[in-house]
Structure 1
Amino acid sequence: MSEHRISVDIDEAGVATVTLDRADKHNALDGAMFDALLDVTGTLKTDGRIRAVVVHGAGKSFCSGLDISSLGQGGGAESLLEREDGHRANRAQRVSVDWAAVPAPVIAAITGNCFGGGLQIALGADIRYAAPDARLSIMEVKWGLVPDMGITQTLPRVVAVDVAKELTFTGRIVSGQEAQVLGLVTRAVEDPLAAALELAHKIARKSPHAVRAAKRLYDETWTGADASAALMLESELQVGLMGSANQLEAVHAGLAKREPRFADPE
């Protein structure tokens, strides 16, 4: 990573706070930011300490989208379309879809502007909290483009196709409050970061094996899955959890009315 763009803090509970740290540019996406996002997801997906992840933007905005002036220099935009060996998605798409490869739940805390590629990053999270006055837009039509950062894998899970088309065809900006009504965000809250951290710590107190299995279950079956395969995955995941150390700890702690002490996944 050639320039600092993201900071990551992991607390004692195993909650990782990922901060997009280019506040002077409303955390706009340049080449260094793309590199940093791929580095972060690559690290978090292999760290067994992580129980939950919160992603937010420093300063006023979550992410204002592509830094067109920066990416236009030196062919940076073209490099984002490259697909590396072993990846179905290109580099631009991976900053959204690679959050699904992080086994722990990912919560986006949205304030200010969340436009274009920034919204697609947020859509890659499992849960989204937005300030009521946040501004969200599938903005690519403004530039004569289509959204192409993994939106086909995320947007169909949260809104109906007519809503997706209306937002995409117009590029209109919606508030965090309207985004909740439409389904773009999970909740509109006055302090998204505080609410996201509170939720992350609630999740961190649950069995990480059960939480990770639940994320996998829904990610692999929510849209378009074969019913037989989906039902089989339920059973396979359940069998893997039953009688495991953390599952027994959940039972013993519940019976004893004490806080459970769960082991981290290896």
Structure 2
Amino acid sequence: MTEPPVTIAIEDGVADVRLARPDKLNALDPAMFAELAAAIDRLGAAPGLRAVVLSGEGRGFCAGLDMASMAAGSPGASIEDRSHGPANLFQQVAWGWRTLRVPVIAALHGMALGGGLQIASGADVRIAAPGTKLSVMELKWGIVPDMAGFALWRGLIRDDVLRELTYTARTFEAEEAARLGFVTRIAEDPHAEALALARSIAARSPDAIRAAKRLANQEGDAAAILAAESREQAALLRTPNQMEAVMANLQKRDPVFTD
């Protein structure tokens, strides 16, 4: 029986999602695209979900496109199809993590190249092992990043830096990536660090966490963002979970939240 290319385990509100083609360095083939999109849909409907950890099995996070498999087969989708709101299937496997209603933490090791870097960029936070290799490598193949990379990197990476890395397709390591903004921080065991962070997030009010992510994703001018802050706050005040957060702090105990 063929093993699924993406696995999901959910415990105490934290989903541990893994790219699972280790023999191919988790390179993206048609089945991986379909399974990643399905995983995002499943997590979007999962009751009680509080946070997600996204990682890769084996020697690296993701080596990018499996060029041979993509040439031989098709996920059954066109890049022109807007099959997932504003995104096509190929963009959804990166963009979908950004629009998922709970925080997503990517744990990177080995390499996150091309499409793999774009998928990782959809996470709210990226924790990388020392020496992890990253690249905006599409120009190596005579193409451009088209898995939501430019939408995800806008505001994250300085414009001239992003242009240089895109035009040259050069490989850089986690330490430089952290300075540039591609990586949030470095850890010897990024998966363990990501799980610890996810559990810490899961202990907060789920209503407030989801509202905070909506605000972090909010686009528009200052007036639109200010108005969104007020709407989110008004919706949170005096709700059961907000009152539980207050009482737990006053009583110096762990809060017990409900979804």
1:71-86 to structure 2, matched below 5 A, reads: 71-74=70-73, 76=74, 79-85=77-83
User: For residues 157 and 126 of structure 1, what CA distance do their matches in structure 2 show?
Assistant: 13
User: For residues 82 and 66 of structure 1, what CA distance do their matches in structure 2 show?
Assistant: 19
Q: TM-score w.r.t. structure 1 length?
A: 0.94
How many angstroms does 1:256 deviate by? 0.4
Q: 1:239 aligns with which of 231, 234, 242?
A: 234
1:248 matches 2:256: no
1:11 maps to a residue whose letter is E
Are the aligned partners of 2:118 and 2:149 in contact in 1 as well (CA < 8 Å)? yes
In the alignment, what sits opposite 2:69?
70
Q: Secondary structure at the match of 1:246?
A: helix
User: For residues 55 and 31 of structure 2, what CA distance do their matches in structure 1 show?
Assistant: 17
Q: Secondary structure at the match of 1:16?
A: strand
Q: TM-score w.r.t. structure 2 length?
A: 0.96
User: For residues 187 and 15 of structure 1, what CA distance do their matches in structure 2 show?
Assistant: 20
In the alignment, what sits opposite 1:96?
94
For residues 53-85 of structure 1, the C-alpha deviation after alignment (integer angstroms, 9 at most, x for no partner) is: 0000000100000011001014x1783515255
In the alignment, what sits opposite 1:22?
21
- RMSD of Structure 2 on Structure 1 (CA): 1.4
User: For residues 145 and 84 of structure 1, what CA distance do their matches in structure 2 show?
Assistant: 20
Structure 1, 2-11 or 60-69: larger mean CA deviation: 2-11
1:66-145 to structure 2, matched below 5 A, reads: 66-74=65-73, 76=74, 79-85=77-83, 87-145=85-143
Are the aligned partners of 1:16 and 1:52 in contact in 2 as well (CA < 8 Å)? yes
Structure 1, 243-252 or 84-93: larger mean CA deviation: 84-93
1:59 maps to a residue whose letter is G
Percent identical across equivalent pairs? 47
User: For residues 204 and 160 of structure 1, what CA distance do their matches in structure 2 show?
Assistant: 31
For residues 78-135 of structure 1, the C-alpha deviation after alignment (integer angstroms, 9 at most, x for no partner) is: 8351525562111111101111221110000000111000000000011000111100
1:1-266 to structure 2, matched below 5 A, reads: 4-12=4-12, 14-74=13-73, 76=74, 79-85=77-83, 87-221=85-219, 225-264=220-259
Q: Secondary structure at the match of 1:159?
A: coil
User: For residues 226 and 243 of structure 1, what CA distance do their matches in structure 2 show?
Assistant: 29
User: For residues 57 and 132 of structure 1, what CA distance do their matches in structure 2 show?
Assistant: 16
Are the aligned partners of 1:3 and 1:32 in contact in 2 as well (CA < 8 Å)? no
Unaligned segments of structure 1, at least 5 residues: none
Unaligned segments of structure 2, at least 5 residues: none
Q: Secondary structure at the match of 2:18?
A: strand
